[in-house]
Amino acid sequence: MEHLNIFIKAIFIENMIFAYFLGMCSYLAISKTVKSAIGLGLAVTFVLSISVPTCYLLEKYILKAGALQWLSSDLAAIDLSFLSFIMFIATIASIVQLVEMIIEKYAPALYSSLGIFLPLIAVNCSILGGALFMQEREYATLGEASVFGLGSGVGWFLAIVALSAIREKLRYSNVPAPLRGLGITFILTGLMAIAFMSFMGISL
């Protein structure tokens, strides 16, 4: 039950885009068509659900204060948490590289549909954001951390697909020229985020 709560919360209430604005850059840039939005959304979900548990293990067994106790009791006093940024980003960058190579080898069809999006993900703020939120909220088990990663990914996926669907329809409407493109997309995202705020009342 606890896991389901975290999952639902990560998708709707603490949605990466509408509550924290993480991964906005690629969200705005790649939401012009539904097809590419789905590709990027899948890739982000995939990488988030792998990288958050990995960072959790890293945090628990290497970085936290006293985490090195499993190596030897002399190391119990060491606190490496100031290194977490550099460790997390290095992990994420290498996971993205690894995932890219694995998909290229075993699922060429998926690779060609994700294409250029995979390398872009290393610098998508939502991935590092997921890892840092996991660290800040101190999830108790590996299961909780993985469910949180998957949930945030699904939330991001939903958000980008929804926006791209709206933008495809928007092509037929007459937007004032200075607002065209970027401006109206910002306002749209704001309105969608207001709509998502209605989930905030739900307590899980």
Partner 1 sequence: MSKETTAAPAKEKIPKEPLFSAKNKRLLYDPLNDNNPITVQVLGICSALAVTVKMKPAIVMALAVMVVCAFSNLIISLIRNIIPNRIRIIVQLTVVAAMVIIVDQFLKAFVFDVSKQLSVFVGLIITNCIIMGRLEAFAMANKPWPSFLDGIGNGLGYGIILVIVSIVRELLGSGALMGFQIIPESLYKMGYFNNSLIIMPPMALIIVGIIIWIQRSRNQKLIESK
How many residues appear in the chain?
204
Out of 75, 102, 107, 197, name the contact with partner 1 by CB under 8 A: 197
Closest CB 67 distance from partner 1, rounded Å: 18
Is 33 a binder of partner 1 (CB under 8 A)? no
| Radius of gyration, CA atoms only, the chain | 19
Smallest Cα–Cα separation from 53: which of 154, 151, 148, 136? 148
103 phi and psi angles, rounded to 5 deg = -65, -40
Is 99 a binder of partner 1 (CB under 8 A)? no
Nearer to partner 1, 76 or 90 (CB): 90
The residue assigned the tokens 């890892």 is 131
Is 20 a binder of partner 1 (CB under 8 A)? yes
Is 179 a binder of partner 1 (CB under 8 A)? yes
- Give residues 42-81 in contact with partner 1 (rule: CB under 8 A): none
Which contacts qualify for 128-131: CB closer than 8 Å, 24 or more apart?
A: 128/88, 128/89, 128/92, 129/16, 129/20, 129/22, 129/23, 130/16, 130/22, 130/48, 130/51, 130/52, 131/51, 131/52, 131/55, 131/88, 131/91, 131/92
Which part of the chain contacts partner 1 (CB under 8 A), choosing from 21-29, 45-53, 62-70, 154-162?
21-29
Site track 120-159 with partner 1 (rule: CB under 8 A), x = hit:
--xxxxxxxx--xx--x-----------------------
Angle (CA) 189 13 44, round 5°: 65
Which part of the chain contacts partner 1 (CB under 8 A), choosing from 42-50, 58-66, 68-76, 117-125?
117-125
Is 202 a binder of partner 1 (CB under 8 A)? no
Closest CB 135 distance from partner 1, rounded Å: 8
| Residue type at position 152 | S
Which part of the chain contacts partner 1 (CB under 8 A), choosing from 44-52, 70-78, 85-93, 108-116?
85-93
Out of 79, 186, 202, 204, name the contact with partner 1 by CB under 8 A: 186
Concatenate the DSSP letters of all residues of 114-125 into one string: HTTHHHHGGG-H
Site residues for partner 1 per CB under 8 A: 18-25, 28-29, 82-86, 89-90, 93-94, 97, 119, 122-129, 132-133, 136, 171, 176-187, 189-194, 197
